[in-house]
Amino acid sequence: MEKPFSQACENNKAPILAVIKTYFADSKKVLEVGSGTGQHAVYFAAELPHVLWQPSDVYANIEGFECWRTEAGLSNLMTPLVLNVDEVWPSLLVDGVFSANTTHIMSWESVIRLFHGVGNCLVSDGYFCLYGPFNDHGQFTSESNRAFDAMLRARDAKSGLRDTNELCELATLNQLKLIAEHEMPANNRLLVWQKM
């Protein structure tokens, strides 16, 4: 099988690492939800050798991911878990959770389950770092994000950009407190919650 490739991952992996390396500096194990092609996981595991990086995704994406993991040969990059946020999550406890470009391709019901799952598997004081495009107070932060949202909803009416305020309400219900918002390239942001 040919390795899957995402240009967006290549473009954003270094800016993301510059932020998450601070939050995961003392982490022993980090769960990545929605690992996709595997490019982020390989890059972050190589740059954060003290972290056991636990990738996960739906079953359909695992084979492609394994192409990247096998080639990388990193001892701290674990075999990916099959994880569908709408189904029963694997039983695990982690110091950190990372997810990129996931909430806008899920239904709102799936986003609810994502935050519930994160709240259950994250240890006290652990960090949840979520990267992607988000709205603020019901408003788009750029015209490109408005166009992206329209494209997403045309493809799947249940998807679309999520509002930071609504995400924070979900987070609070799952013992997560927003502690930082980092502006990122291409009208994206990285939101950081900490488990209370």
How high is the pLDDT of residue 1? 78
Give the chain's mean pLDDT: 97
How high is the pLDDT of residue 15? 98
125-170, pLDDT tens digit by residue?
999 999 999 999 999 999 999 999 999 999 999 999 999 999 999 9
CATH 3.40.50.150 fits 7-195, yes or no: yes
Question: Residue 176: is its pLDDT beyond 90?
Answer: yes
Q: Are 77 and 45 in contact (CB under 8 A)?
A: yes
How high is the pLDDT of residue 127? 98
pTM of the predicted structure, to 2 decimals:
0.97
Q: Report which of 58, 77, 66, 82 is spatially closest to residue 4, judged by C-alpha positions.
A: 66
Domain coordinates of the chain in residue numbers? 7-195
52-89, pLDDT tens digit by residue?
999 999 999 999 999 999 999 999 999 999 999 999 99
